Amino acid sequence: MNRECVQRVLCLMLAASAVASSAAQQNSKTPPPAVAKQQVLELEKEWVAAEVKHDATTLQRILDDKFVASFGAGKPYNKDAFIKLVTSGDPDPTASQTLTDQTVILEDDTAVVVGTDTARETEKGAMTTVVYRYTVTYIRRNGRWVALAEHLAEAPQPQ
């Protein structure tokens, strides 16, 4: 009788574990890796367009409330300071940013993107181009990707 009781308890425990595991999988909103990678890359395009247009509203949506950015060895900027920095002044109609060499690493609800950002703008009447290497960490909050941190450093010029 004890053996039969133990077997029933074990069966019930296994069944409960299977149900809990199935429910957790169904409740997970993390998309498949290929979809998540595409979502993050699309968000990067949106972010670049918002910076070029000085669109603070879009940047507010893309950047997490805990967002922090750093440039080279400079002091970090929080979300509000970063948005103020990149949206100050009038937008330059000749400005553009081109993202290339992007590598995306995914781990559950975290994505890290390492890439190259080629920024072009008119400065004192002359067109300038600066190439940066960047790393951005994204997280999924409430079912959508947001940027948590960015580091940008000017890439050395080829000799």
pLDDT digits (tens, 9 = 90+) for 62-119: 999 999 999 999 999 999 999 999 999 888 898 999 999 999 999 999 999 999 999 9
In Å, how far from its chain's centre is CA 70?
15
CB 121: neighbour CB atoms within 10 A? 17
Q: By C-alpha distance, which of 84, 111, 114 is closest to 99?
A: 114
Selection from 28, 63, 71 nearest residue 47 by Cα: 63
Q: Which residues pair with 127 in a beta bridge?
A: 122
Structure tokens at 109: 């609800």
Tens-place pLDDT, residues 131-156: 999 999 999 999 999 999 999 999 98
- pTM of the predicted protein model: 0.78
- Residue 86 near residue 51, CB atoms below 8 Å: yes
Kind and range of the H or E run holding 31: none
